[in-house]
Structure 1
Amino acid sequence: MSEAETPYADLSPETILCALESVGYQPSGGMLALNSYENRVYQIGMEDSPPLVAKFYRPERWSDASIQEEHDFTLALAADEIPVVPPLQDPAGNTLHHYQGYRFALFPRRGGRWPELENPDNLAWIGRFIARIHLLGAARPFEHRPRIDPDQMGRACAQYLLDEGAIPLELESSYRRITEALQQHIDAAFSATRDCQTIRLHGDCHPGNILWTDQGPHFVDMDDCRSGPAIQDLWMLLSGDRQEMALQLSYIREGYETFRELDSREVALIEPLRTLRMIHYAAWLARRWRDPAFPQAFPWFHTHQYWQSHLGELEQQLRLLDEPPLPLY
């Protein structure tokens, strides 16, 4: 395999510990791999201080400038007393470090539990903090981070899967038909909301990236921060049937609009964004398949059963895109 296919082949425990030593830390040798596939993330024990979290960025995924922009955004949020986990700065103010061809950043360890999203007060609390993220995010644009692009996340990803032969031959025509129909709906929805504001976002604000303590929520993993509509950071917190999601959105919106008005037109983007995420996720797995970590973690991918299930989910999305947007209470 090429280096691009096995980007972490040389990232040994010794290399990780030496990387931390290169920026002035004294690791004890204790190391725990955390749940991450795109990057490699480790909890590292320290000799005379609490453990740190070290993130080693996937080579060639982001430019240095785009990673630095993520760090600067997170630091600005933290300075505004918004509960995020910013990277640690060295005495010169640097947050992005290099060692033997790897780029890495260090973070304080922050624990927490899964948020109880069935609690309306918790949803409103989260909504208030997301609005504050968006207030700062709307102050100026990203220059190096990507934006939510329905063509790249939808059409290009579907074509990649077809071109690479990832889909079983007997299902290709069905996949092509469904994704082309979905893309028409998605394009129409984004065209109808093209006047909505594009702002800097968390970008991947699902419940696993919101940790809860007795002090409330804090937001982690800004690795996918990008530009897009505000609703991107809200829809992944919704689950259940239409009525349940509409009620959840009402609680989030109540908290959100304490600080920032939510453009009601963006609600029409919820199912298009969900559909794009589903297509993009399948393409992401296919693109990373030669990384040895992926077959181990996702053994069901590339099975006939997976693709049949995926097609069924896309068919369901096609029906949902024909329905009116969620009502706003």
Structure 2
Amino acid sequence: MSDETPYARLTPDLVLDAVTACGLWPDGRLLALNSYENRVWQVGLEDASPVIAKFYRPGRWSDAAILEEHTFAQELADAELPVVAPRTFAGRTLLHHDGYRYALSPRHGGRAPSLESADQLKWLGRLIARIHMVGARSAFAHRGRIDRDTLIAHPMHAVLASSLLPAVSRDRYRHAVERVDRLVAARFEAIGPVRTLRLHGDCHPGNVLWTDTGPHFVDLDDARTGPAVQDLWMLAHDERAMEVLLEGYASMRDFDHAELALIPALRAMRQVHYAGWIAARWHDPAFPAAFPFAAESRWWEQHITDLHEQADELE
């Protein structure tokens, strides 16, 4: 298994064999789901509902960190929250087959939430608050944090080490990221200490599925430690939406409104991380196919411009 092509051997037959190894009986139906960091398949079963098979990217998380994700998901499910937790086989949720680590979970369908709806925003606010109530009960020991090292320094080094960034843009890119980093640090210092807790970590609309009975959250792969506002800002498209989201949140749990001033910093950190993530994964064949724009110099010019705009907002 190569670090550059970690999923080269993950064939449909291997996926079916891994599910069969758990004592399940696939019926041969496979559907590859939209995932780049890991590989995720919907697998049909004979006389049973389909399962979701998630194959973890080698080297990204330690076994201990993955098990923390599973434990957190199960805590949330045990608290009767609509969060999908992995299934257990012979007492284990983290499974191994032919050099791959994977987990199986029930399939829960749904549609995208309507973030223009005040009722849905309030509902999401209440649900996130309840997730945070559970998240605040204990701490992660092995998973990452929402910090500058993870979301700025490492991604910047990945970009500078990549051939994607045009040579003529290197100095301007470095200057833009260093400016963002300096201003993000200043913003966090100005806000002062904030409470941190276990978070979903990647709470964008694609990780929320809505059904007739309400929303449920999927994909805790980016669960980290950070401020509560991290799980809110990506669901609010404007200030009014954030107000409605927080109205629902505050009905269940107190929220420190000083954290709202962190949103421009969190947005800028995510933007730096996004480019670094693509650069770091470019040798994975799925990435050039999914993000062809990253091979174009004009995209990097726009990225540098966007970083300066984020810095202007912070300034």
Normalising by structure 2, we get a TM-score of: 0.97
Q: Which runs of 5+ in 1 are unaligned?
A: 240-244, 323-329
Partner of 1:242: none
Shifted more, 78-87 versus 171-180: the winner is 171-180
SS of the residue 2:112 aligns to:
coil
Q: Does 1:259 align with 2:257?
A: no
Superposed counterparts of 1:15-26, under 5 Å: 15-26=14-25
Once residues 152 and 173 of structure 1 are traced to their aligned partners in structure 2, the CA distance between those partners, rounded to angstroms, is 21
1:221-277 CA distance string (max 9 Å, x none): 1000010000000011122xxxxx221111011100111111111111101111111
Tell me the CA shift for residue 23 of structure 1: 1.0
Structure 2 counterpart of 1:124 = 122
Equivalent residues, number: 315
Match of 1:235 in 2: 233
RMSD: 1.2
Equivalent position to 1:312, from 287, 292, 305: 305
Q: Which residue of 1 aligns with 2:290?
A: 297
Q: Secondary structure at the match of 2:292?
A: coil
Displacement of 1:155: 2.7
Measured in 2, the distance between the counterparts of 1:156 and 1:106 equals 31
Give the match's secondary structure for 1:38.
Answer: coil
Task: Give the Cα–Cα distance (whole angstroms) in 1 for the partners of residues 201 and 217 of structure 2.
Answer: 11
Q: Bigger shift: 268-277 or 92-101?
A: 92-101
Looking at structure 1, the residues matched to 77 and 279 of structure 2 have their Cα atoms a distance apart, in angstroms, of 35
Q: How does 1:133-148 map to 2 (within 5 A)?
A: 133-148=131-146
Paired residues for 1:180-329 under 5 Å = 180-239=178-237, 245-322=238-315
Superposed CA offset, 1:89-138 (max 9, x none)? 12x33211100111110111111111100111111100000000001101
- Asked whether the 8 Å contact 2:154–2:276 carries over to 1, the reply is no
> Quick check: 12-21 or 307-316, which moved more?
307-316
Unaligned runs of 5+ in 2: none
1:173-201 Cα shifts (integer Å, max 9, x gaps): 22122211111110012223342111000
Q: SS of 1:172's equivalent?
A: helix
- Following TM superposition, by how much is the alpha carbon of 1:64 offset from its aligned partner in structure 2, in angstroms? 0.8
Please give the TM-score of this superposition, normalised by the length of structure 1.
Answer: 0.93
One-letter code aligned to 1:86: A
Identity percentage over the alignment? 51
Alignment partners' CA distance in 1, 2:70 and 2:190 = 33
- More displaced, 160-169 or 258-267? 160-169
Aligned to 1:175: 173
Does the 8 Å contact 2:236/2:245 carry over to 1? no
Report the Cα distance in structure 2 between the residues aligned to 1:289 and 1:165, rounded to whole angstroms: 10
Distance 1:192 1:150 in 2: 15
CA distance in 1, matches of 2:119, 2:314: 30
Q: How does 1:52-67 map to 2 (within 5 A)?
A: 52-67=51-66
CA distance in 1, matches of 2:277, 2:192: 26
User: Aligned to 1:301, what secondary structure does the other structure show?
Assistant: helix
